[in-house]
Each structure stands twice: as C-alpha cells, then as structure tokens.
Amino acid sequence: MRRFSVLCDHCGVIEKRRERYGQSVTVKDRIFTRVPFTPAVIAAADAVVVATDHSSFAWDDVALHARIVVDARGVVPREKVTGVLVPLSGPLHRG
C-alpha cells in the first residue's frame, strides 16, 4: 500500500514532539514516523491533503509531483499542477 501524506494542523504538534522525543511520535495509539518532505515522497503518495498553509512547505513541489492534491487552503499553485487538483471551492483542475 502506498503512503498517504497528510499536511495537517496536527503536523506542527507532531513535529514539536518529534524534536523533543525523536523521529516518531505516538498519537492516540498510532505511530507517526517522520519522513523527509521531498519530491520522491510526494510522488510516492496516493494523494496529498493540504489542511494548513504553513509557509515552510514547498507548495511548488506538491504541485509538480503529487498525483492528487486536495487543497483546503488554496496554497498549491494551480498553474503548476501536473496531476489532479481538488480544491474545496471551484472546479477540479487537471494538469
């Protein structure tokens, strides 16, 4: 099964815990292990869900490498999308 990447409000909390406790963290009996945010990781995911608009993420890389992007924040540059962009408002966009 391919990895499902989620960029979410909890990522900041998970990242802070990871910095304090190590490369993985358990939240509600589920283990989250940090993976690098690289084009290869993005491309390997079935979909990328954007639920927050942190400026530290490379949104151009998401647009160029993700097969499916669900963008709840409107931060992924539509003109650079090569896969399918599913915005919360507006029409579906195919790159």
27-38 pLDDT, tens digit per residue, is 788 887 777 788
Which residues, 6 or more positions from 54, have their beta carbon under 8 angstroms from its beta carbon? 7, 11, 12
Exposure on the CB side of residue 86, measured as CA atoms within 13 A: 10
Percentage of residues in the chain having pLDDT higher than 70:
77
Is the whole model's pTM more than 0.75, yes or no? no
